[in-house]
Structure 1
Amino acid sequence: MDDPTDRWLTLELRLAALLHNPQRGADWSTALDAVLQQARALLGEDEDAGLYWLLHVSATTPVGYSTAHALTCWALARLLAAPLGLTEQQADALERAALTMNIGMTALQDALAAQPYPPDAQQRALIDTHAARGAQCLRECGVRDAAWLHIVEHHHEPDVTDLPTQVLQRIDRYAALLSPRVSRSGHDAVQGARQLQPHGPADDPIHRALVTTLGVCPPGAFVRLHDGTLAVVLRRSGRPAEPWVARVQDAEGRPLPEPQWLDTSDPAHAIAEALPAAEVRLRLPHASLLRLARRASTARAGG
């Protein structure tokens, strides 16, 4: 199988071109649909590899933030739709809204991620109106799906009651918390999930679905093991707090010659803490790690 990271990068470039250059008429909408279908196929081949790539990229660089954020939110939307009981029509509208919710400020969003100071008054005004402007932009691009437009237009309103829009609000916030800016570091996965939970009922269905589906530390997250070594999460295990990981650094901070596949349900390899990506100074061999994960998964399935 070829390197999925190359295909995710190609997909991101195609989406970036569409988000930065919305065009009037049906051609733009058709092109976006093609990107969506390709993304669905790619995520369907290996959900964990897709999550690893999207969440790791989102957590490690502010470059190309707007498009990376859109794809990350799309993947989360796609994976959460079924656990939350969304209909096929609701799920489709949610996915499309996740890809396009910030089309009203794509360039501004990239600029905000790269600037070392808070938004100024002019930028704040554009942020405050981007949802309505985004929905209007989509209409001009030929979008006629009322549910899709509704989610985009209302995804920043505090008192929405429809579930698809509530889901987008929460995953938008979660992905943003994990992502760094020049002005601040991203949160670790545990902090991100904790801050996502509202001050309302403890048994919150969206929060519960997110943690159950992604895990406490999702693929792409850095974790410190109890022995002091550093690992990166590669695959979910079905046990939210016990993913499969690859150890990549020893307890003294030295990179390992080869990553080591570990099951964190083993007390000897248990997770001690999640780490923000900013605390890790290590260039990961993504293709090698994903090959390791595929081999280990195949061996586990065959065994």
Structure 2
Amino acid sequence: MTATPTNSWPAASDLTGAWTDMETRLSRLLRAPGEAEDFVHDLLQIEQHMVALLQTDADGSLYLMLQLAASSNVGYSASHALVCASLCHLVASEMVDDAGLVRSLDRAALTMNIAMTRVQDDLALQASQPTPAQKRQIDSHALDGVALLESMGVTDPVWLEIVARHHDAPDLQTEADGPMTLLTRILMATDRYTALISPRETRSGRCITDSGRNVVARRGNAPDPVGHTLLRIVGICPPGTFVRLQDQSVAVVLRRTEQPGTPLVAQVLDAQGNPIPDPPLLRTDAEPHQVEAALVTRSVRVRLNHVRLLQMAALA
């Protein structure tokens, strides 16, 4: 479950800059697809770069993405798409045998809301409920997105069908449904999981464990295999999550371990809520540093040096 450093392990500053740059590029592409010289080429470049970073350092990538998703509602649409696509890739790589289908899912996740990008960004900052015009755009965005992608040169039928169906896959899957239903349900689960932890102007994001319970639960309270796989891969408290330890200090999760409830963390606030200038790395498999609870990211008042924390984690 944990990533192991290799000779190709990127410097923390390079990893941070790579994800920031990728989000900027994706935001520009989704907000103005018609301005791209070659939309499909640009989108595939972003997707290939995303996959390469996940394969090189999944924990560092999860840390950066979940910190971003849970701490800011600015530029929501692109950050949400990037987190969803990354989680889709990790989950589908275990649940789907066909690598080509996994890549089609990645691309669908990046573009599922392309027909409502600006509305989605506005709603994240909007204190009021959607206007009638916004509601109409939300209701039609899946099929509108397919039409827009086709006009931009997308011909992959799997990519297009997932975008068309990404809000209406059946709750239960049967053998007769085939891989398309599974792919769509993976996107729906990651979409819901990411949306729940992301803040809005009208609410704070949810605690990561609440979000996890939501994607695992299904009608009749039967466990959802897609949600279960998602939580098994990212962990109960994935990288980027703030947690309260048994000694009442606060830490941020940096890396997963083989035991889902015992991640490697950096202690960032003492028990009195004071920032720790040089956060120590802690194992959480024994008292007093066992994880007591996950925290809502925006409730933790601390400025993190992401580059420094990722450097520490890579060397641990």
TM-score of the superposed pair, with normalisation by structure 1: 0.94
C-alpha RMSD of matched pairs (Å):
1.5
Q: Would you identify which runs of 4 or more consecutive aligned residues in structure 1 move more than 6 Å?
A: none
1:150-161 alignment to 2 at 5 Å?
Answer: 150-157=161-168, 159=170
Q: Which amino acid aligns with 1:115?
A: Q
Q: Is 1:252 matched with 2:272?
A: yes
Q: Which amino acid aligns with 1:171?
A: T
1:84-123 alignment to 2 at 5 Å?
Answer: 84-123=95-134
CA drift at 1:70: 0.6
Instruction: Note if contact 1:26-1:142 (Cα within 8 Å) is conserved in structure 2.
Output: no
Q: Is 1:185 matched with 2:204?
A: yes
Q: Is 1:211 matched with 2:231?
A: yes
Q: Is 1:202 matched with 2:257?
A: no
Q: Deviations for 1:47-83, whole angstroms, at most 9, x for unmatched residues?
A: 1010000011000000010000010001101110122
Residue ranges of structure 2 left out of the alignment (5+ in a row): 1-10, 172-176
Q: Residue 51 of structure 1: which of 54, 58, 62 is its match?
A: 62
**What is the DSSP-based 3-state SS (H/G/I as helix, E as strand, rest coil) of the residue aligned with 1:142?**
coil
CA drift at 1:222: 0.5
Q: Counterpart in 2 of 1:235?
A: 255
CA drift at 1:200: 3.7
Instruction: Note if contact 1:62-1:179 (Cα within 8 Å) is conserved in structure 2.
Output: yes
Change (3 A) 1:25 1:143: farther
Q: Residue 242 of structure 2: which of 177, 199, 222 is its match?
A: 222
CA drift at 1:120: 1.9
CA drift at 1:201: 5.4
Q: Counterpart in 2 of 1:171?
A: 190
Instruction: Note if contact 1:24-1:141 (Cα within 8 Å) is conserved in structure 2.
Output: no
Q: Counterpart in 1 of 2:301?
A: 281
TM-score of the superposed pair, with normalisation by structure 2: 0.90
Q: Deviations for 1:176-229, whole angstroms, at most 9, x for unmatched residues?
A: 000001111000110101122223453321111011100011100110001000
Cα distance in structure 2, aligned partners of 1:289 and 1:251: 20
Instruction: Note if contact 2:12-2:311 (Cα within 8 Å) is conserved in structure 1.
Output: no
Q: Residue 142 of structure 2: which of 119, 123, 131 is its match?
A: 131
Q: Deviations for 1:140-163, whole angstroms, at most 9, x for unmatched residues?
A: 010000000000011011537510
How many corresponding residue pairs? 296
Q: Which amino acid aligns with 2:184?
A: T
Q: Residue 16 of structure 1: which of 20, 27, 31 is its match?
A: 27
Change (3 A) 1:22 1:189: same
**What is the DSSP-based 3-state SS (H/G/I as helix, E as strand, rest coil) of the residue aligned with 2:74?**
coil
**What is the DSSP-based 3-state SS (H/G/I as helix, E as strand, rest coil) of the residue aligned with 1:186?**
coil
Cα distance in structure 2, aligned partners of 1:25 and 1:114: 26
Cα distance in structure 1, aligned partners of 2:266 and 2:136: 44
Q: Is 1:72 matched with 2:83?
A: yes
Cα distance in structure 2, aligned partners of 1:230 and 1:73: 27
Q: Residue 264 of structure 1: which of 284, 288, 291 is its match?
A: 284
Cα distance in structure 1, aligned partners of 2:306 and 2:128: 32
CA drift at 1:24: 8.3
Instruction: Note if contact 2:91-2:233 (Cα within 8 Å) is conserved in structure 1.
Output: yes
Cα distance in structure 2, aligned partners of 1:30 and 1:142: 10
Q: Counterpart in 1 of 2:157?
A: 146
Instruction: Note if contact 2:12-2:310 (Cα within 8 Å) is conserved in structure 1.
Output: no
CA drift at 1:23: 2.5
Q: Which moved more, 1:234-243 or 1:196-205?
A: 196-205
Q: Which amino acid aligns with 2:84?
A: C
Instruction: Note if contact 2:66-2:241 (Cα within 8 Å) is conserved in structure 1.
Output: yes
Q: Which amino acid aligns with 1:225?
A: L
CA drift at 1:127: 0.5
Identity rate, percent: 42
